[in-house]
Amino acid sequence: MNLFCALYVNIPESQNMREKMEALLLVLIFFVLAVITLKVLAVLLHVGIFMLTLPFKLLGLLIAFILLPLIALPLGLLAGLAGIILLPLTILLPLLPIILIGLGLWALLRNI
């Protein structure tokens, strides 16, 4: 009994047990071969897609190495400089409510 008979033809009850087991084995072998084939195709396509995208990954890496010293480092230096300039103001931060109340009282007294 070939594979197509096992898949598409109903096996009558009068056939012996060996032919039924043969048909079941052929179906099982068919599905195992299909799974193996799909796995191999998946690996090949994965490798193919990786090979297609490799130039773009390398180009992105090159652009990142070029733009890092031109953009990220100056912005980092500016942020550090701003932190150094604003550091004394953080010392006055706990006194902010008192300073605001004092400025409000001064504004009220100035208008009198």
* pLDDT number for residue 61: 92
Cα first-last separation, the chain: 112
* pLDDT number for residue 109: 92
Sorting pLDDT into bands at 50, 70 and 90, what band is 58?
very high
Q: What percent of the chain has pLDDT over 70?
A: 86
Residues 6+ apart with CB under 8 A from 1: 19, 22, 23, 26
Cα separation, 27 vs 16, in Å, equals: 17
* pLDDT number for residue 21: 84
Average pLDDT over residues 41-61: 87
